[in-house]
Structure 1
Amino acid sequence: MGVHDTGIDELAAEARAALVAEIDAEGAWDEDPVWREAFARVPRHLFVPYYYVGVRGGYERRWGESPDPGARERWVRGAYADVPLATRLRDGELLSSSSQPSLMARMLVALRVAEGDRVLEVGAGTGYNAALLAHRLGDDDLVTTVDLEPEITESAARHLAAAGHHPVVVTGDGARGVPERAPFDRIIATCALPTVPGAWLAQCRPGARILTPLATGLLALTVRHDGHAEGRFLPAAAYFVPLRGAGGGRPAAVSLAGLPAGAGEQETFRFLLALTRGVLDPRDAYGLWEREGGPGRERYGVTVGGAHAWAWLDDPEGPYAWPLP
């Protein structure tokens, strides 16, 4: 049955409630149930006026202003599916997306936001994550979100305003942070980086928490009083669009030649490869991975100090430690 424009909000509310129930059932908010209300209240469809879904041979565009009521219904239902949504493509390459809501929920819980925290989000995307943060904190001015592309920040600001939020939206290189809005109590990145930028630490208060995708995992760091930071990876896998700008870029492929058949299909081995790319020979990485019993992400961590950053297995002092770029 087609839906008239007057029915879109009702349909969205119904679809949003179903999404919240689905994420709830996974236990994503168990450690911080306050986030449940943010997801129940912030309308994701306002942040994805159009998006692309994969079809045979490419992508199909779904659009909230389609003249076809059935197409509008598919758009609004799809906006509340627990999947990432491709929002910007260029020459067939994905430039920006709205992350999977259940992953966003887990990341926001892992960020451990407290009342009054000043938060920097690196990777504005659609603006949806910044809206969730602003709703949770109850103060738009506590939230800053940054993205390199002016067209992304302009549309994010429009979406945020439509949803009734006005956090500070900055156009710039996220690897450099936003010094004029510092100091921050929390930094969350929604794009993958090859290392942890020193600028972030310089813009953090002591005790601040940084949550960022790195390799194919999520790293949670605590910033110490001396400007160093250290922390471990969360257990779950996470795949994000790479950061664009001076601190980003797509990593080169790693050759699996000479490794046992099926080695590349081992998810935790691929994580170790991504983490030690360009430092550890893939054959040495495989030997280590096998000796250590195929360690999960939670056994790895990162230390950042001065101009240096290094990843490690089990212990920051080694014996297994590798420099990051």
Structure 2
Amino acid sequence: MVTLDRDQHVATAAQARLGDLGYRPAVVSGSGEDGWLERGPYDRIFVSFALPCVPGALVDQLAPGGRLLMHLTTTSPSWPALVVISRSPDGRITSHLRAVEFAHRAGHGRKQIFLSQEFRERIAAQPADDAEARTFRSSEAAPPDEARGFWLALDALYPGLVRHRGVDDLVIGAPGCGSWMVARQDGPGTWAVTASRPAEHLGRDPPDAGSPSL
């Protein structure tokens, strides 16, 4: 058994605490994305941080019959996924991806985008004379929170969107360009959807995948 952390001080502290609990794993310091080849292959690999893709080195270190469990994320923390990688006894690799509500924090050096307080306050204000905002009504209800596969697909198709989970309505913003949308139920079977796209983006070609507009 091996436990690994990129911070030597954390690894040393983990060794002491695990020892107090009666565990004696090999405690090493290094990059979690590289794994630890010296003690491999492994029957089980658990990654306690999130990455945008599964590191090939960890898959290579799986023993026949082994499993790798980790979270996947993108620049947005709103719609993470849990992935299980398995190596069959004959060496065949299979994977299972499942959208989840929460995930580990992004790994070292991975930047994530958030809705700043100023951005959230601007969305909440929604001034009546905002020339950039448009409101329309729809009989289509927003997908529920439980439709996590849908939200994960949305993140894959339009990266750079962030969900504001501190409110009752459905609120999504795009920090890269300042666009946002709010959907709230305003009657039986009807929804009011307000969307705003900054004036400097109006009339332009759609931005690249790293900076979506709503």
Establish whether residue 232 from structure 1 lines up as the match of residue 96 from structure 2.
Answer: yes
Counterparts in 2 of 1:183 and 1:270: CA distance versus 1, 3 Å: same
Which residue number corresponds to residue 87 of structure 2?
Answer: 223
Q: Secondary structure at the match of 1:243?
A: coil
1:192, 1:242 within 8 Å by CA — same for their partners in 2?
yes
The alignment covers a number of residue pairs equal to: 131
Higher relative contact order (CA 8 A, sep 6+): 2
Question: What's the offset of the Cα at 1:250?
Answer: 2.8
Which runs of 5 or more structure 1 residues have no equivalent in the other structure?
1-142, 283-325
Q: When the two structures are superposed, what TM-score results if normalisation uses the length of structure 1?
A: 0.35
2:59, 2:85 within 8 Å by CA — same for their partners in 1?
no
Aligned-CA RMSD value: 3.5
Question: What's the offset of the Cα at 1:189?
Answer: 1.1
Which residue number corresponds to residue 207 of structure 1?
Answer: 65
Establish whether residue 270 from structure 1 lines up as the match of residue 128 from structure 2.
Answer: no
Which residue number corresponds to residue 189 of structure 2?
Answer: none
Question: What's the offset of the Cα at 1:252?
Answer: 4.4
Q: Deviations over 1:52-98 (max 9, x none)?
A: xxxxxxxxxxxxxxxxxxxxxxxxxxxxxxxxxxxxxxxxxxxxxxx
The structure with the larger Rg is 2
2:158 to 281, 290, 314: 281
Q: Deviations over 1:6-63 (max 9, x none)?
A: xxxxxxxxxxxxxxxxxxxxxxxxxxxxxxxxxxxxxxxxxxxxxxxxxxxxxxxxxx
1:194 to 26, 44, 52: 52
Question: What's the offset of the Cα at 1:146?
Answer: 0.8
2:81, 2:97 within 8 Å by CA — same for their partners in 1?
yes
1:189, 1:211 within 8 Å by CA — same for their partners in 2?
yes
* Percent identity for Structure 1 against Structure 2: 32
2:111 to 250, 264, 267: 250
Q: Secondary structure at the match of 2:151?
A: helix
Question: What's the offset of the Cα at 1:253?
Answer: 5.8
Q: Secondary structure at the match of 1:176?
A: coil
1:22-41 correspondence to structure 2 within 5 Å: none
User: CA–CA distance in 2 between the matches of 1:183 and 1:159?
Assistant: 25
Q: Deviations over 1:187-213 (max 9, x none)?
A: 111111111101012111223111111
Q: Secondary structure at the match of 1:190?
A: strand
Q: Deviations over 1:253-298 (max 9, x none)?
A: 69xx99x999698462433344x2xxx236xxxxxxxxxxxxxxxx
Instruction: Judging by fraction of residues, say which structure has more helix.
Output: 1
Which residue number corresponds to residue 63 of structure 1?
Answer: none
1:84-123 correspondence to structure 2 within 5 Å: none
1:146, 1:169 within 8 Å by CA — same for their partners in 2?
yes
